Structure 1
Amino acid sequence: MAEVHILGSILGCSDFDEPKGLFCKFHLESGVVDQTEWQVLGGDKSGTTQVDCSGGEGLDAVWDHPIDVHFACPTLVGWPRLRVEVWSRDHFGSNILCGYGMANCPMQSGSHEIEIVTWVPVGGISERLSTFFLGIKPQLQDPTIVANTRPGEGRFGLKCESAGIVYISLEIMTAGLNKNGVETVG
C-alpha cells in the first residue's frame, strides 16, 4: 500500500475583520473508496491552534502550529484536503466565527506554500441584524460540507462573503506510489 506523509505548519492569517484573539481549527479530510478508508499510520488529522492576541508582521495572527500526519492509501482517490475554521475570542470569552476555508493538499512531493481564502455564510435579514447588533455570525450546522466538492452538494448555493487568508506551509512525502503505477512529475 502506498504512503503519504504530510508535514508542515499553519503559519498564521491576515485580512480578518477581527484582528485580535484569533485561533484556527483544522482537519485533514481523506476519502473512502469501496469501503476502504485512508488509514492514519501516525499523527493527528485535526487540531486547534493557540489563540494569538498580538499579530505579527503583516499578519492578524501568528500560530506556527505543526501538522504531521502519515497516511497509508489504497488509491489516489480521496487525496487529503485541509479544512480550516478561523475563530475569534472576544473579551467576554465567547468564540465568534471568522471564516471557513478548504484547500487540496498538493500531490507533488516537496515543499509547498498554500494560501487558503476563507469565507463566511451570509444569512437572511434576521441573521444580518444579529451580526450587526450582537456580533453573532451565521454558522454552518455541518462544517464538513466545506470540503465537499461534489456538484450540487457542499457550499454550492450558499450565500457567502470572503473573509481573510490562512497561510500554510506543507512538506509532502510519498512512498510506494511508483509500485502502483503512479508517477508525479515536478
Structure 2
Amino acid sequence: MAELFLIGQLKGGIGFSQPELSCKYSLVLGEAWKVVDGETEANTQVDEGLPGEMCTWSCPIDVHLTTESVNDWPKLVFEVWSRDRFGRNDLAGYGVCNIPYNVGNHQLKVHCWKPVGNALERLTELFVGGSVVLKRPEIILNSDDREDLVTRPTGVIELELNVLANGFEAVDGIER
C-alpha cells in the first residue's frame, strides 16, 4: 500500500478586492484513498490585509494518506470568504488545485474566481450586498460542468506544500 504525506501551510491570499478574508479548504479524495492521520478540511481565521498586501492565514496542512491506486489523485478545493462592515460573510472566490505528483517542496499559487450571476443578482450584490454562490459546490471539481459558468477572477491563494511519498512503485504497475 502506498503512502502520501502532505505537510505545509495555507500561507494567505492576495489580489482580492475585499479587506477582511478567511479561507476554507477541503482535501478531496477518490474512493481508493484513505486518511490515516490529520484533518482533510479547515477554516482559517479572518485577517484584515491592507490593499495590495497579502492577507496572512498561516493555516497548517498535515495529512497522511494511503492508497492502492493513483486514480482520482487528491485535490485541494478552496472557498475564500470576506466579512463586510456589517459582519456578514460573502463569497470572495473559489479555487482548486491538484496535489503535485512530484515529491518535494512546492510553492503553489491558486487562482480564484467567483460566479458573475445574472443582471438582477449583480444589482442585488451591488446595492444590498451578498454574493452569488454555487448551488452545487462540487461543480468546482468537474471542468465539463464549469464550462457553462460565467465567472470573473478575484485573487490568488498562496500555498506551501511538502509532498512525501512511499511505496508508489508498487501501485498500478508504476515503475521508478
Length-normalised TM-score, structure 2:
0.93
Length-normalised TM-score, structure 1:
0.89
In structure 2, do the counterparts of structure 1 residues 165 and 183 end up closer, same or farther at CA, with 3 Å as the change threshold? farther
Q: Are the equivalent residues in 1 in contact too, given 2:116–2:122 (CA < 8 A)?
A: yes
Structure 1 equivalent of residue 80 of structure 2 = 86
Q: Are the equivalent residues in 2 in contact too, given 1:56–1:62 (CA < 8 A)?
A: no
5+ residue gaps, structure 1: none
SS at match of 1:145: helix
Give CA-to-partner distance per residue, 1:110-151, whole Å, 9 cap, x none.
0001100000001111101111112221100121221224x3
Structure 2 equivalent of residue 2 of structure 1 = 2
Q: Distance in 2 between matches of 1:165 and 1:8?
A: 17
Q: Distance in 2 between matches of 1:41 and 1:110?
A: 20
- For the pair 1:159 / 2:150, whether they are aligned, the reply is yes
Equivalent residue runs for 1:1-186 within 5 Å? 1-18=1-18, 20-32=19-31, 37-55=32-50, 58-59=53-54, 61-149=55-143, 151=144, 153=145, 155-180=146-171, 181-183=173-175
Residue 156 of structure 1: CA displacement? 1.8
Residue 58 of structure 1: CA displacement? 2.8
5+ residue gaps, structure 2: none
SS at match of 1:71: strand
Q: Distance in 2 between matches of 1:58 and 1:182?
A: 43
Q: Distance in 2 between matches of 1:73 and 1:91?
A: 45
RMSD: 1.6
Identity of aligned residues (%): 37
Q: Are the equivalent residues in 1 in contact too, given 2:12–2:58 (CA < 8 A)?
A: yes
Q: Distance in 2 between matches of 1:56 and 1:6?
A: 31
Q: How many residues were matched structurally?
A: 175
